[in-house]
Amino acid sequence: MSTSQLDSAWQTATVDQPAHVAIIMDGNGRWAEQRGLPRTEGHRRGVDSIRKVVKAAIELDIRCLTIFSFSSENWSRPVSEITDLMNLIKRFIRRDLADLHKHGVCIRVIGERTNVEPEIVTLIEEAEKLTRTNDGLRLTVAFNYGSRAEIASAARRLAERVAAGEITPADVTVDTFAGELHTAGLPELDLLVRTSGELRLSNFLLWQSAYAELVFLDVYWPDFDKTSLEQAITQYRNRDRRFGGLTANPNS
């Protein structure tokens, strides 16, 4: 199946079923601190939750799942914590890639890869190459990602194309702009979930969240499971998605 065919297959949102769900996985550190455990243990349990939620997304027939694993601002954390996080990421890819591939998961990693450890970049590229043509769940991992930087980069690329005479300023539309974002090819974001009770987007998918339903759950990420995901989807189903109009989108 070609990439364009895969992209077409993922455009399947309905009123009752979001096609594209994104999650800000927050609260690992606080979960650990409340239990008198090191923050590293919270992150380790958080990786277990990723496994549970990927499995749940497949069972619930969610076509696209995007998770915020590491932001471009997270580099300001203590060096020891960053080292632990990078080791967890490497172990997750090495341990889980074969199983994800077996279940037809297509993996894509978005975010900047400059200044990222070469070993991690190699693992990311291997995961993407191995699973590129899989037609199951599309798992997008935002790593070293920041939405403002993503938007600025998209604007810069379009400006460069205009300067080179490839396109005119009139060609810069919502669609052409979206085509320059890291998420190009993914369906519109339907549902964005944040755990831990925090009520902000933290520089995640700002453009893509324009008409997404936002759900904030008072549960730390290590405790997030299939039931939690179902609760978020229930809230999504109870929303009246009007997309700026007076009635629900007839195409939903």
126-127-130 Cα angle (round to 5)? 80
* Amino acid 241: pLDDT: 80
Q: Which residue has the tokens 């069972």?
A: 59
* Amino acid 16: pLDDT: 85
Question: CA-CA distance, 64 to 51, in Å (whole number)?
Answer: 15
Residues in the chain: 252
Q: What is the mean pLDDT of the chain?
A: 92
- Sequence spans of domains, the chain: 3-236
Beta-carbon count within 10 A of 190 CB = 24
Which string of DSSP letters, residue by residue, matches 6-42? HHHHT----SSS-SEEEEE---HHHHHHHTT--HHHH
Contact 137, 104 (CB under 8 A): yes
- Whether the pTM exceeds 0.95: the reply is no
In sequence order, the β-bridge partners of residue 109 are 141
Contact 176, 158 (CB under 8 A): yes
Question: CA-CA distance, 203 to 45, in Å (whole number)?
Answer: 24
Contact 39, 74 (CB under 8 A): no
Q: What is the token pair recorded at 224?
A: 């997030």
Is pLDDT of 13 > 80? no
Q: Which residue has the tokens 């939405």?
A: 147
161-189 pLDDT, tens per residue?
Answer: 999 999 999 999 999 999 999 999 999 99
Question: CA-CA distance, 235 to 12, in Å (whole number)?
Answer: 19
* Amino acid 240: pLDDT: 85
* Amino acid 115: pLDDT: 86
21-57 pLDDT, tens per residue?
Answer: 999 999 999 999 999 999 999 999 999 999 999 999 9
Query: Per the residue annotation, which of 74, 96, 223, 225 is the catalytic one?
Result: 74
187-209 pLDDT, tens per residue?
Answer: 999 999 999 999 999 999 999 99
Confidence of residue 228 (pLDDT cuts 50, 70, 90): very high
Is pLDDT of 215 > 60? yes
Which of 137-160 are b and which e, b meaning 16 or more Cβ less than 10 Å from the residue's Cβ?
bbbbbbbbbbbeebeeebeeebee
Query: Per the residue annotation, which of 7, 16, 26, 203 is the catalytic one?
Result: 26
Question: CA-CA distance, 19 to 13, in Å (whole number)?
Answer: 4
* Secondary structure of residue 183 in the 3-state scheme: coil
Is pLDDT of 5 > 50? no
92-106 pLDDT, tens per residue?
Answer: 999 999 999 999 999
Question: Counting Cβ atoms within 10 Å, is residue 169 exposed (0-12), middle (13-18) or buried (19+)?
Answer: exposed
Question: Mean pLDDT, to the nearest integer, of 13-19?
Answer: 85
Question: CA-CA distance, 190 to 241, in Å (whole number)?
Answer: 10
Contact 182, 16 (CB under 8 A): no
127-163 pLDDT, tens per residue?
Answer: 999 999 999 999 999 999 999 999 999 999 999 999 9
* Amino acid 244: pLDDT: 72
Q: Cβ neighbours of residue 126 under 8 Å, at least 6 residues apart?
A: 93, 97
CATH assignment, 3-236: 3.40.1180.10
Is pLDDT of 249 > 60? no
* Amino acid 242: pLDDT: 75
Whether 238 is a known active-site residue: answer: no
Whether 61 is a known active-site residue: answer: no
Question: CA-CA distance, 153 to 32, in Å (whole number)?
Answer: 36
